[in-house]
Amino acid sequence: MILSEQQIKDMQEGGKVLAAILRELLVMVKPGMTTREFDDRARELMREKNVDPSFPTVDGYPAVICTSINDEAVHALPSDRVLKDGDLFKIDIGVIHKGLHTDMATTVIVGGKKFFNKSYSQKQKLLNATRQALEAGIAKAQAGNTLDDISSAIEDRIIKDDFSVVHELGGHGIGRTLHETPWIANFKGYEDGKTELVSGMALAIEPISSMGSNKISEGPGGHAYRIKDGALSAHFEHTIIITDGAPIVVTK
């Protein structure tokens, strides 16, 4: 959808609240926590800040966040699964404020840098590449450019470090519903990539990477999508609004 000036302000308000909630959740990350505890806390914070969860509006999803670990790329349900040192932990979260959705995600290494070794170094390299791919995609998100400009910037950054871009998952338009057109691939040269970006468009840009295969398989219950060969995966996301210049990152 193309946002009005008032809707842009409303979405910025919602994005600010969403970013604050995610920051509070990240403070909780440590070995021994269950992913369900993050969902419980997210519900509390949404009530406290007077916003509604976005995710239950999609096919009756039963939680308010997605909590994916290691080879789970996205959409894993919170559960009694316990975080362990060295896990790659992804939190994906969205809220509704004044009728408009915002959506964001981040990936962290559980336990922090306990000791430096090759495994930790590669995980951090994957996170850096994927975070920087998001920044590169956002930098191309301005009126007059195309979706493929965003997608190309994302893919180029991730493959630069010999990682893979997950092809079957990508970003999306966002507004009165969580998932709107257009779909935004994280790889270049796809059919809808020629779509021109217009001032006022709201997009959720979300690179999803893998240390191995770029293929995914669907998990039990139709929720968690896993990297097919079991490789580690990272996911970062921001909601942005297209302008004639630099985009507005509402979930910054």
Count Cβ atoms below 10 Å from residue 176 Cβ, excluding itself. 12
* Eight-state DSSP code of residue 220: G
Bridge partners, residue 82, by sequence = 34
Helix 147-160 × helix 118-139 angle, to 10°: 160
Report how far Cα 35 is from the mean position of its chain's Cα atoms: 17
- Note the pTM of the prediction, 2 decimals: 0.95
CB hemisphere CA count around 5 (13 angstroms): 0
Q: What is the rounded distance in angstroms from the CA atom of residue 102 to the CA atom of residue 243?
A: 17
**CB within 8 Å of 67: residues ≥ 6 apart:** 35, 38, 39, 76, 77, 78, 79, 81, 89, 90, 91
Q: In the chain, where are the structural domains located?
A: 5-249
Count CB-CB contacts under 10 A for residue 40. 14
- As a whole number of Å, the end-to-end CA separation of the chain is 21
Tokens of residue 35, six digits: 């992913």
Helices then strands, each counted (H, E), the chain: 4, 15
**pLDDT values of the chain reduced to their tens digit, one per residue, 252 residues:** 899 999 999 999 999 999 999 999 999 999 999 999 999 999 999 999 999 999 999 988 999 999 999 999 999 999 999 999 999 999 999 999 999 999 999 999 999 666 556 778 999 999 999 999 999 999 999 999 999 999 999 999 999 999 999 999 999 999 999 999 999 999 999 989 999 999 999 999 999 999 999 999 997 667 899 999 999 999 999 999 999 999 999 999
The structure tokens listed for 251 are 């979930």
CATH node for 5-249: 3.90.230.10
How distant, in Å, are the alpha carbons of 53, 64, 139, 163 from that of 181? 20, 22, 20, 27
